[in-house]
Homo-oligomer: A and B are copies of this chain.
Amino acid sequence: MPRDTLTREQIVKAAIELLDDEGLEGLNMRALGKRLGSAATAVYWHVGSKDNLITLAGDEVWHQIALPDLATTDWRTAATQMATDLHTMLTRHSWLVQAFGSYMIFGPGKARHDDHGLAIYEAAGFTMAQADQAAAIVFTFVLGNALVPAAAASFAKKLGRDGGNAEALMHESMAKAHEIAAQFPRLRARLDTAVTDYATAPDNTFQFGLQAILDGLEARLSARVSGGA
């Protein structure tokens, strides 16, 4: 067998593919080894541990997010674009939000992203401390928004792995949730409309919330900048 069949980039790429296909709990070293055509243990020489591999995979995703050019884009548009890009990225790789809670995901990719986020709010005229807060608020909002669909996707995958019939199990879970919600007046009232609303425009709430947040930040921060206290 020739040398250098396995590289770190190759492994990370395969890991991301596997994570996208099977979810966070579907990634295990033996499956990854099979996908790479090598022994499971060969991976360890290149990445050290599963934890580290996930950190690397997560950071690679952050690396792929485009950064808006602040010379040609006003800050509000840039902020919207960056938040939206991150949101779609986290939605596409739904394992990343989950991993964010259990692994320490911070590397060059995320640092690059964070840095540009700060740049946007500084370009808007905010002080460093204000930019810091603004970036943190928008980031956590995106994170939280991605967490709910990620949970749903993860749950659906789990059902698919356990028994054969994922559809039936999912239907059963939905029915149980429906039954619980029906005992509360406001939840019961929206049981019918919620599904169709979401189907019509899933990203509506995210965009609406994001703009509302930027509105609020703009008003509050500029008030502090110009006025006192």
Contacts and interface: CB of A to CB of B under 8 A. Distances in A.
Interface of A: 24-25, 51, 97-98, 100-108, 111-112, 114-115, 118-119, 122, 128-129, 132-133, 136-137, 139-145, 147-148, 150-152, 154-155, 158, 173, 177, 180-181, 183-187, 189-190, 193-194, 197, 204-205, 208-209, 211-217, 219-220
A129 B180 contact: no
Contact of A212 (B122, B137, B155): B137
Contacts of A114: 184, 187
A188 to B, nearest CB: 9
A25 B144 CA distance: 21
Number of copies: 2
A97 B137 CA distance: 17
A141 B189 CA distance: 24
Given A128-B189, A193-B129, A212 B213 contact: yes
